[in-house]
Amino acid sequence: MEEIYQQFIIDLYKNPLNFGKMEEPTYRAELGNATCGDSIELFIKIDSNGKVSESKFIGKGCAISQASASLFTGYLKGKSVEQLNIITKDDCLALLKINLDKNPSRMRCALLVFDTFKKAVDQKS
């Protein structure tokens, strides 16, 4: 089963979902992981109904950071502004379907998109 999830991560790394820049996002932030050099720039657009209509990212780094960003941006779509405020690190980690508890450096990679998301939302508040 672990091999299936590893292939899942590699596939997202090679063919990321929601990859690209966005003009005039409602929320935008950029962060890097100084330990490994990974970086994420996150873009979120809120529609007139107060929901995420579009979410994209650009960045570079390891398969885990890029796969996590790919999955997380998809997860955000359709969420209300209120829902954005209650998303947790655990929500982000659950999307990857792998246990990173014993690998703190990979945990930081997986959570880079979440930390970027929190920075974007907190800047706007």
**Could you give all domains of the chain from N- to C-terminal order, each with its CATH number?**
2-124 (3.90.1010.10)
Mean pLDDT score of the chain: 92
List C-alpha distances in Å: 80 to 49, 60, 62, 120. 8, 28, 30, 15
Find how far residue 32's CA is from the centre of its chain. 13
Q: What is the pLDDT of residues 94-125, one digit of tens each?
A: 999 888 888 888 889 999 999 999 999 998 65
Q: Which residues pair with 59 in a beta bridge?
A: 40
- Position 1 scores a pLDDT of 42
Tokens of 1: 């089963």
Of the chain, the percentage scoring pLDDT greater than 90 comes to 77
pLDDT by residue (tens digit) across 27-60?
Answer: 999 999 888 899 999 999 999 999 999 999 999 9
Maximum alpha-carbon separation in the chain: 42
Q: Is 66's pLDDT higher than 90?
A: yes
pLDDT of amino acid 106:
86
Distance, in Å, from the CA atom of 52 to the CA atom of 76, rounded to the nearest integer, reads 7
**pLDDT tier at 83, thresholds 50, 70, 90:** very high
Contacts of 76 (CB under 8 A, 6+ apart): 44, 52, 55, 84, 87, 117
